[in-house]
Amino acid sequence: MSDQAPIETDAVVIGAGPVGLFQVFQLGLLEIKAHVIDALPYAGGQCIELYPDKPIYDIPALPFSTGRELVASLLKQAAPFEPVFHLGEEVTSLATQGDGRLRLTTSRGKTFMTKVVVIAAGVGAFQPRRLKLEGIEAFEGRGLHYHAPDAERLAGQDVVIVGGDTMAVQAALDLTADGPQRPRSITLLHRRDVLQAPASALAEMQALCEDQQMRFQVGQITGFEERSDAGERRLTAVRIDDVDAQVHVLPVDQLLVFQGLSPKLGPVADWGLALERKQLQVNTEDFATSAPGIFAVGDINTYPGKKKLIVCGFHECVLAAFGAAALVFPDRKTPLQYTTTSPRLHQLLGVATPVRP
Amino acid sequence: MSDQAPIETDAVVIGAGPVGLFQVFQLGLLEIKAHVIDALPYAGGQCIELYPDKPIYDIPALPFSTGRELVASLLKQAAPFEPVFHLGEEVTSLATQGDGRLRLTTSRGKTFMTKVVVIAAGVGAFQPRRLKLEGIEAFEGRGLHYHAPDAERLAGQDVVIVGGDTMAVQAALDLTADGPQRPRSITLLHRRDVLQAPASALAEMQALCEDQQMRFQVGQITGFEERSDAGERRLTAVRIDDVDAQVHVLPVDQLLVFQGLSPKLGPVADWGLALERKQLQVNTEDFATSAPGIFAVGDINTYPGKKKLIVCGFHECVLAAFGAAALVFPDRKTPLQYTTTSPRLHQLLGVATPVRP
């Protein structure tokens, strides 16, 4: 995949959280088109991942908003600038080229060549919580999955799903559908007997368990078993401790783990940028990092007085956009224009300029 | 009036524009109560004074808002903290006291003793545009008015209203009402024959002119006449050039001037704070000015990278609030709390803390 032609662009924004989305808008006002990369499969970042329905009270002029509403508004606001989203993929490398441009690669094998990068990665890329079991990482992508694999890979197999929330329950229910791809057995495994899922899903699961179409098992994974198959290691079972501290061996061909997501700073730490306690140091004049062409906004940066609030990230986007404009348009002085009065901004936003009475 | 007891408070915010209103909110989250002073008779600042109905497109997560809507939302957001507004008055002096507190006085004779002041005065206090006519300022408050005087002062008098917008037209129409306070004559004077007012008001004016209940005169004031009345100077007439450069003498007892408002930095320039091109220099860590206890946010401040945008002012409010908290509560470390999760903030905001499912 890495031999795809590189995507050439003026700006790449890493992170599609609220601050990354407002960064797209601010870049757009200065006529800089942006590509946006996020590890999550949807825009919104923490707001969507951690508190989509909880209220936020401190966004200026929004006395009340849910994370979901906030993100919807920011997407709408950025829409006139037609950002290109690359979701569900992580930036794996970032390096400065001889011509001063920046080269990024992603976990899906895409390459970008860009004049500026704005890192709006919040607390880092949200990644599935891994099983803490020594040696099991060797099976990742074969017998062990943190994202649902293609259904055909599960056909006729013993499938164990680990997790206790809606995502885990729903994954189990989805597999019970009749058809050629149905697994041989489906077990939902959770460390306790309380599941966090809608009552309707739990009722459906109860019925399927009674009908022996799936099983629910309470227990904690403590080990695994494997065999060698034509020189290739294969997962064959997990050992679990149940609530009574009894050890069970659960046969498994495919282990699906849905234990939620946790943020990881990830490769950002390896790009040679000046850090202070895992935050990127920036200049408050333009929110530039220590590397030319790379800016950082939102929770991932630090400077004297820094507060990790969305409203502060919004301001940082404005100044970073002007910093970016100086690099993208080195021969142009970028004036500050107002969206209320500027005909050029109205044109970019696709709105009519009001006629003076 | 200046012998009123001083108002003791933790914080005074100078300026009730959008940034001043969000400053109240941010101070409130840190449990700092604020009084707000503004020269205009209503909250909203430039947004209300200059573009109440024009769209603003760059407030984060508000793809479209009028100035009026923005201000209404910010007032609603600040409401839980019960700010006390002092509108239609200007701060006339600001001085540091021996005990470190700040003493403010206003044009209405109020005195405040406060621990911190946040100057959110935008481009300055909005003041009525004065007549540019040498010597006429001597009549201000007697025969010359920039705010509508009490109706009884106009009873039986020759009244001339200067101006061509809705405010001027409406002031003339209001005076034509029958009653004991009716002026002897009412003339609307404007430099050209095009008035900026609703068609209905213009139609009403036309009818009143035809009925000789008022007059409309086109012309530019070039001089004035006066007499001495028991030792007191009284305005008796204005001289005007009409469109044909003919000089007229228009008898006048009371001259009401409504030529719009223009911002003046005003006394802020005299408080000994470090300035750079009429902007207050601030530290971007907490937006403190050069004087202890005095902070500056929004369009009135300057720092490297400064952009005069509302969204930047909002961020500045956050850091200024933390700077203020360090002075108001010197023995307390003020933690950053999130409105989404903090029970204490929910209590202050008067909202229920959601129960974890």
Residues B51, A340: C-beta atoms closer than 8 Å: yes
Q: Are residues B120 and B266 in the same domain?
A: yes
Q: In this predicted structure, which of A94-103, B36-45, B241-250 has the lowest mean pLDDT?
A: B241-250
Residues A58, B339: C-beta atoms closer than 8 Å: yes
Residue B322 with chain A: CB contacts under 8 Å: 305, 307
Task: Assess whether pLDDT exceeds 70 at residue A142.
Answer: yes
Residue A311 with chain B: CB contacts under 8 Å: 60, 314-315, 318
Q: Are residues B95 and B33 in the same domain?
A: yes
CA-to-CA distance for B26 and A195, rounded, in angstroms?
Answer: 39
Q: Are residues A134 and A114 in the same domain?
A: no
CA of B199: which chain A residue's CA is closest? Answer: A357
> B124 with B47: CB under 8 angstroms?
no
State which of A128-132, A335-339, B10-14, B330-334 shows the largest mean pLDDT: B10-14
CA of A19: which chain B residue's CA is closest? Answer: B60
Check the CA dihedral B307-B124-A307-B72 and report its sign.
negative
Nearest CA-CA distance, residue B31 and chain A, Å: 14
Residue A356 with chain B: CB contacts under 8 Å: none
> B328 with B320: CB under 8 angstroms?
no
Which residue type is seen at B280? L
Look at residue A328 and tell me if it is in a domain. yes
Look at residue B120 and tell me if it is in a domain. yes
CA of B78: which chain A residue's CA is closest? Answer: A63
> Nearest to residue B190, comparing CAs of B167, B217, B212, B172?
B217
pLDDT band per the 50, 70, 90 thresholds, residue B2: very low
Exposure string for A306-330, b = 16+ CB within 10 A, e = fewer? bebbbbbbbbbbbbbbbbbbebbee
Residue B67 with chain A: CB contacts under 8 Å: 340
pLDDT band per the 50, 70, 90 thresholds, residue B260: confident
Look at residue B183 and tell me if it is in a domain. yes
Domain of B204, CATH number, reads 3.50.50.60
Look at residue A1 and tell me if it is in a domain. no
> B298 with B313: CB under 8 angstroms?
yes
What's the confidence (pLDDT) of residue A83? 97
pLDDT band per the 50, 70, 90 thresholds, residue B355: low
Q: Are residues A200 and A266 in the same domain?
A: no
Nearest CA-CA distance, residue A58 and chain B, Å: 6
pLDDT band per the 50, 70, 90 thresholds, residue A263: confident
More confident residue, B264 or A184: A184
Which uninterrupted H or E stretch holds A75? Answer: helix A67-78
Backbone angles phi, psi at B140, to 5 degrees: -60, 130
Residues A322, B305: C-beta atoms closer than 8 Å: yes
Q: Are residues B156 and B203 in the same domain?
A: yes
Task: Assess whether pLDDT exceeds 90 at residue B72.
Answer: yes
Per-residue pLDDT, averaged over A300-323, amounts to: 97
Return the number of other C-beta atoms located less than 10 Å from residue B153's C-beta. 16
Tens of pLDDT along A153-173? 999 999 999 999 988 999 999
> Nearest to residue B324, comparing CAs of B25, B32, B96?
B32
The strands making up B275-276's β-sheet, listed across from edge to edge, are B275-276, B279-281, B301-302
- Domain limits at A342? 7-127+262-349
**Minimum-distance CB partner of A61 among B74, B304, B336:** B74
Look at residue B165 and tell me if it is in a domain. yes
- Cα R_g (chain B), whole angstroms: 24
Residue partners of A166: CB distance under 8 A and separation at least 6 = A196, A197, A198, A201
Q: Are residues A276 and A298 in the same domain?
A: yes
Look at residue A355 and tell me if it is in a domain. no
Q: Are residues A138 and A123 in the same domain?
A: no
pTM of the shown model: 0.80
Q: Are residues B199 and B168 in the same domain?
A: yes
Burial degree of B287 (CB within 10 A; 0-12, 13-18, 19+): buried
Look at residue B118 and tell me if it is in a domain. yes
Q: In this complex, how many residue pairs, one in chain A and one in chain B, have their CB atoms less than 8 Å apart?
A: 141
Nearest CA-CA distance, residue A89 and chain B, Å: 25
Task: Assess whether pLDDT exceeds 90 at residue B53.
Answer: no
Which of B259, B284, B304 lies at the terminal end of a domain, its last residue? B259
Task: Assess whether pLDDT exceeds 70 at residue A355.
Answer: no
**Minimum-distance CB partner of B60 among A22, A303, A357:** A22
Portion of chain A with pLDDT greater than 90, in percent: 74
What's the confidence (pLDDT) of residue A141? 85
Tens of pLDDT along B172-220? 999 998 888 899 999 999 999 999 888 899 999 999 999 999 999 999 9
CA of B47: which chain A residue's CA is closest? Answer: A340
Q: What is the number of structural domains in chain A?
A: 2
Residues A354, B55: C-beta atoms closer than 8 Å: yes
- Mean pLDDT, chain B, integer: 92
DSSP letter string over B276-329? ETTEEE-BTTTTB-SSTTEEE-GGGEE-TT----HHHHHHHHHHHHHHHHHHHS
Which of A259, A289, A313 lies at the terminal end of a domain, its last residue? A259
CA-to-CA distance for A49 and A41, rounded, in angstroms?
Answer: 10
Residues B339, A57: C-beta atoms closer than 8 Å: yes
CA of B302: which chain A residue's CA is closest? Answer: A285
Q: Are residues A37 and A108 in the same domain?
A: yes
What's the confidence (pLDDT) of residue A102? 96
Nearest CA-CA distance, residue B117 and chain A, Å: 19
Burial degree of A114 (CB within 10 A; 0-12, 13-18, 19+): buried
Q: Are residues B271 and B338 in the same domain?
A: yes
What's the confidence (pLDDT) of residue A1? 45
Portion of chain B with pLDDT greater than 90, in percent: 74
Which of A211, A229, A259 lies at the terminal end of a domain, its last residue? A259
Which uninterrupted H or E stretch holds A93? Answer: strand A91-96
pLDDT band per the 50, 70, 90 thresholds, residue B109: very high
Nearest CA-CA distance, residue B151 and chain A, Å: 31
> B28 with B34: CB under 8 angstroms?
yes
CA-to-CA distance for A347 and A80, rounded, in angstroms?
Answer: 10
Residue B81 with chain A: CB contacts under 8 Å: none
Q: Are residues A286 and A243 in the same domain?
A: no
**Minimum-distance CB partner of A309 among B318, B323, B349:** B318
Q: Are residues A140 and A224 in the same domain?
A: yes
CA-to-CA distance for B319 and A306, rounded, in angstroms?
Answer: 8
Portion of chain A with pLDDT greater than 70, in percent: 98
> A131 with A25: CB under 8 angstroms?
no
